Amino acid sequence: RFIKFIDYFFKNKKNLDILEVASGSGNLTRYLLPYLKKNLNTYWSSDISPPFLEYQHKYLKQKNILTDKCKFIQIDANNICFTESTFDIVVGSSCLHHFLHYEKTLEQCYKVLKPGGIAVFAEPIRTGNQPTWLMISLMADFDKQSKSPIFNENIYRRMHSFGDGCNNLLNLKKNNNYEQLSKYEDKYQFSMGGMRTLSNKIGFSKFVPLVDVDEKCLDYFPTIEFFISQIELYMGLIIKNWKFDPKFMNLVSRVYNLMVKPFCGDDHCCLYTSFCFVK
């Protein structure tokens, strides 16, 4: 995802200065560094946690990925301590939805980017996850009324709680109840429309979703098999190693054909995708 954006805006450009925010254990760092090493001037891996940064340094060194162009710094993503117009690229993988005030992080990204620079993030998208949550809730009702139920009352309650819990978080955000939001690790599911609006408000010149860079990206064209895999993923949090049961196939097909397939190519069928802010 990130490489597609970097190649799209900076193909073959040399001496790139890159900042990664909330790099955590370094999953993104370890993939980007080998790919970009010939084009790098500096790659700053930042996180608020020193133990994470120490782990990254040790791991990258062990795997012979570490170079003198890669530097590590402890940073709060809401207060990035670099001067204006320092970086060509800022990246962050699955981090914004953990930040209580992610808007401040994006404002900081704008500050430290050079003109024409990009900030790329990969995040969960609310309008794509809603059909999956609905599907799981309908599966619970369908199973409960069937002649041979396979779940129990506790499972039904937990299946319904997915959508209810996410709607509760959405209401907390709408009501600016940050005290309650701070108690959740996963605080947000984003809408692409909301991100476009925020992009304009901050002052970015352009907001670019992944589909504008790669028209065939899986994020925007999920097959029914991919849709089922998302159901398995969520259900696996309730029942370990749960596999899709054929008894739900007709139900899933109807929801997919009515609520997912008609919106392929639109924001509404994103489950998790990347997007880019251009300064």
Tokens matching residue 200 = 């304009």
pLDDT at 268: 58
pLDDT at 168: 80
Q: Give the lowest-confidence range in 97-101, 123-127, 272-276.
A: 123-127
pLDDT at 215: 73
Block residue for tokens 């969960």: 124
State the pTM of this model. 0.84
Q: How far apart are alpha carbons 85 and 279 in whole angstroms?
A: 10
Q: How far apart are alpha carbons 124 and 159 in whole angstroms?
A: 19
Q: How far apart are alpha carbons 173 and 225 in whole angstroms?
A: 32
Confidence band, pLDDT 50/70/90 cuts, at residue 271: confident
Confidence band, pLDDT 50/70/90 cuts, at residue 214: confident
For 172, phi and psi rounded to 5 degrees? -60, -40
Kindly report the three-state secondary structure assignment for every residue of the chain. CHHHHHHHHHCCCCCEEEEECCCCCCCCHHHHHHHHHHHEEEEEEEECCHHHHHHHHHHHHHCCCCCCCEEEEECCCCCCCCCCCCEEEEEEECCHHHCCCHHHHHHHHHHHEEEEEEEEEEEEEHHHHHHHHHHHHHHHHHHHHCCCCCCCHHHHHHHHHHHHHHHHHHHHHHCCCHHHHCCCCCCCCECHHHHHHHHHHHCCCEEEEHHHHCCCCHHHCCCHHHHHHHHHHHHCCCCCCCCCCHHHHHHHHHHHHHHHHHHCCCHHHCCEEEEEEEC
Note the pLDDT tens digit of each residue in 127-156.
777 788 888 999 999 999 999 999 999 999
Q: How far apart are alpha carbons 129 and 90 in whole angstroms?
A: 26
pLDDT at 170: 79
Average pLDDT over residues 243-258: 93
Average pLDDT over residues 27-35: 94
Is the pLDDT at 221 greater than 80, yes or no?
no
Is the pLDDT at 164 greater than 90, yes or no?
no
Q: How far apart are alpha carbons 42 and 143 in whole angstroms?
A: 55
For 58, phi and psi rounded to 5 degrees? -65, -45
Is the pLDDT at 196 greater than 70, yes or no?
yes
Is the pLDDT at 122 greater than 70, yes or no?
yes
Average pLDDT over residues 271-278: 90
Residue 221: C-alpha distances to residues 13, 76, 97, 196, 217 (Å)? 31, 35, 23, 21, 7
pLDDT averaged over every residue in the chain: 91
**C-beta of residue 158 within 8 angstroms of C-beta of residue 129:** no
Q: How far apart are the first and last CA of the chain?
A: 19
Is the pLDDT at 219 greater than 70, yes or no?
no
